[in-house]
Structure 1
Amino acid sequence: MCTWMTEQIGITGAARGVPDWLRVTRANVFYDHPVSAPYDHALIIDFVNPDAGVGARVGVELSAASAWELVRAITAALESPEAQADLAAEGRAPVRSELETLP
């Protein structure tokens, strides 16, 4: 059964679209039937900028195993001294502390 449960988070960044880079302000994350990936279900991440119209979107569909590897890789990258300094400058806790507070 599909729940259509979507996590929406505000983000600040850029993504490579067609034909150029676009500013992204939101990420929609959900686990459901993919459009193109060859899986029954996939983790789907849409990076969007709603203010820029329907075409301001970059979508990614990942297998569950690939999504977990991406989480691991992101965590490792954010544990770097440079990222930790940036997080501290933004008043955020270190990556491991943030992960420990997740439900």
Structure 2
Amino acid sequence: MSAEDLENYENEMELALYREYRDVVGLFSYVVETERRFYLANQVDLQVRSAGGEVYFEVRLSDAWVWDVYRSARFVKSVRVVTFKDVNVEELAKAEMAL
């Protein structure tokens, strides 16, 4: 496989992931960004913890979707994330239903 073939494959995977995101984003209430991942979730519990003088964040997500091109199953029932970096949680605006 050439470098160009590999780059084309990765580009196609990223595009497919974006399309999947676009299709599922309306199913979720929150966007969660951590230092390593991007999640969509319907329930988020963010706790600030400390141990040994260090502050860290524990995030528990339920009914979630993970932005990860290398995961075969991006829908997960629950996720627990522990990070020492900031966590960004945003509530998504629900589109008005058209009658």
Whether TM-score is above 0.5 comes out as no
Q: Which of the two has greater helix per residue?
A: 1
Say which one has the larger Rg. Answer: 2
Say which structure, 1 or 2, has more relative contact order (CA 8 Å, 6+ apart).
2
